[in-house]
Amino acid sequence: MAGGRPRAFDSDLALDRALEVFWRQGYEGTGISDLMKAMGINNAPSLYNAFGNKEQLFSKVLDRYAEGPARYIREAFDQPTARAAVEALLHGAADATTDPDHPRGCITVQGALACSPGAQAARDELVARRAAGETALRERLRQARSSGELPTGTDPDRLARYFTTIYQGIAVQAAGGTSREHLHQIVETAMTAWPQRADA
């Protein structure tokens, strides 16, 4: 067995570069030539050999996103209370979607919201990933109701959908240029909908 010619680029670094382009321009707005330029790969076969086709590359890029710029999402669930978790999630979104080191907004939202039939697979993958986030939040809220943090009358599904909507709205706002401070204000306002105990 032999080794073969070595790669002329670092795969993870190339994925990070591809992420930036997909993030900024969306799935359909990004061409293979854009990707090659950004990734530092100046021949198409290398790209296809390393990452498969455009669709598969997009999927790998989304994994990289989840482990990189969007890691705060997974980490938010480590907070001791559900309320703290939601706050970490939304304030984290306000920061991440306005990070000057990355395109504004969230690739999971703006990557392929509406697209041609040829990009349905990318769109479906993003729908699934957004749904997965909502499901994770729902489970955390259910647990919070079980533990007594949330009143027994609370509907975790409903609350999860509400905060997910806030999250996605923040992504749209960020893409439109809303400032980081304003996004944090939005989160504060949104948190006033948190269920109150029936004492007070």
Residues that bind DNA (CB under 7 A): 1-9, 30-34, 41-46, 48-50, 53-55
Q: Tokens for 43, please give them.
A: 């021949």
- Shortest CB 60 distance to DNA, Å: 13
Query: Considering beta carbons, is residue 53 or 146 the nearer one to DNA?
Result: 53
- Shortest CB 63 distance to DNA, Å: 18
The option from a second copy, DNA, none interacting with 40 (CB < 5 to 8 A, set by class) reads none
Query: Considering beta carbons, is residue 9 or 83 the nearer one to a second copy?
Result: 83
Residue 28 CA: distances (Å) to CA of 21, 34, 51, 105, 173? 11, 12, 18, 17, 21
Query: Considering beta carbons, is residue 33 or 196 the nearer one to DNA?
Result: 33
- Shortest CB 171 distance to DNA, Å: 23
The option from a second copy, DNA, none interacting with 5 (CB < 5 to 8 A, set by class) reads DNA
- Shortest CB 186 distance to a second copy, Å: 5
The option from a second copy, DNA, none interacting with 3 (CB < 5 to 8 A, set by class) reads DNA
